[in-house]
């Protein structure tokens, strides 16, 4: 089959203005819960897009770890490409592709670094192997082989065999404070339903329907 012939109709649901919550976070939490109940493999997986100093965008998949009215939280190695790009430009975009229920959510905003106390609290809640992996990986930097990576992991395992594993000084987190959030629901004949919440100067949210 030719690539241009691969298509399907979106018929699961529709989205109308009266169905939307007053705030985008409340609407997001509703959709996230429905994605969880649908038993997706990774309902909290999101594409995180950043831009480097040359204007080159880059993307990667990260897991959402918390959401509330303040924003969307994730954690990462601060030496990673995304963290280095956020130092240059704090603007960021998140994308939740919930294909199984024909929905997407796109978050536009700015990333604010989390305090060390909050990062440490989450880091200590992770499985021990994940903590060790954080120490072993110089994220986004070249590594000679898988074997070399595993050897570093093994040495970290020996080093921290006793007691708690400390928080690496190169590990942090961000809260993405949203300025706009789009909710996309697939529709028949490519007439999708799209609504954009736009934050106003007084902190309220204005909702506008977008053309598909």
- Cα separation, 54 vs 52, whole angstroms: 5
141 is catalytic: no
- Cα separation, 176 vs 50, whole angstroms: 12
Q: Does 63 carry a binding-site annotation?
A: yes
Q: Does 108 carry a binding-site annotation?
A: no
User: Active-site residue among 16, 17, 190, 209?
Assistant: 190
DSSP state string for 5-42 = G------S----GGGS-SSHHHHHHHHHHHHHHTT-S-
Q: Does 122 carry a binding-site annotation?
A: yes
Task: Scan for tokens 């990673």, then name that residue.
Answer: 80
Which run of H or E residues covers position 208?
Answer: strand 205-210
Q: Does 31 carry a binding-site annotation?
A: no
User: Which is nearest to 71 in space by CA: 172, 173, 178, 174?
Assistant: 178
Q: Does 118 carry a binding-site annotation?
A: no
* CA distances, 193 to each of 11, 203, 206, 210 (Å): 12, 25, 17, 8
Q: Does 61 carry a binding-site annotation?
A: yes
Q: Does 75 carry a binding-site annotation?
A: yes
Report residue 154 as tokens: 């093994």
- Phi and psi dihedrals of 195, rounded to 5? -130, 135
CB 74 within 8 A of CB 61: no
Q: Does 159 carry a binding-site annotation?
A: no
Q: Does 139 carry a binding-site annotation?
A: yes
Q: Does 10 carry a binding-site annotation?
A: yes
- Cα separation, 63 vs 60, whole angstroms: 10
Q: Does 2 carry a binding-site annotation?
A: no
- Residues annotated in a binding site: 7-10, 60-65, 75-76, 81-82, 104, 122, 126, 130, 139-140, 184, 190-192, 194
- Residues annotated in a binding site for FMN: 60-65, 75-76, 81-82, 104, 139-140, 184, 194
- Residues annotated in a binding site for substrate: 7-10, 65, 122, 126, 130, 190-192
Any idea which residues carry the catalytic annotation? 190
């Amino acid at each position: 089959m030719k690539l241009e012939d691969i298509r399907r109709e979106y018929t699961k649901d529709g989205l109308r203005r009266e169905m939307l919550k007053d705030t985008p976070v409340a609407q997001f939490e509703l959709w996230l819960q429905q994605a969880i109940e649908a038993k997706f493999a990774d309902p909290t997986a999101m594409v995180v897009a950043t831009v480097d100093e040359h204007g080159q965008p880059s993307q990667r998949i990260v897991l959402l770890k918390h959401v509330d009215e303040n924003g969307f939280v994730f954690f990462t190695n601060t030496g990673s490409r995304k963290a280095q790009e956020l130092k240059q430009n704090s603007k960021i975009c998140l994308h939740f592709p919930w294909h199984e229920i024909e929905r997407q959510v796109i978050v536009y905003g700015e990333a604010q670094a989390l305090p060390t106390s909050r990062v440490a609290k989450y880091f200590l809640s992770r499985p021990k192997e994940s903590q060790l992996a954080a120490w072993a990986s110089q994220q986004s930097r070249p590594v000679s082989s898988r074997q070399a990576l595993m050897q570093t992991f093994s040495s970290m395992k020996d080093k921290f065999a006793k007691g708690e594993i400390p928080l690496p000084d190169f590990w942090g987190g961000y809260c993405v404070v949203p300025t706009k959030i789009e909710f996309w629901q697939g529709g028949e004949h490519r007439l999708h339903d799209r609504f954009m919440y736009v934050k106003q100067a007084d902190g309220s949210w204005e909702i506008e329907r977008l053309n598909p």
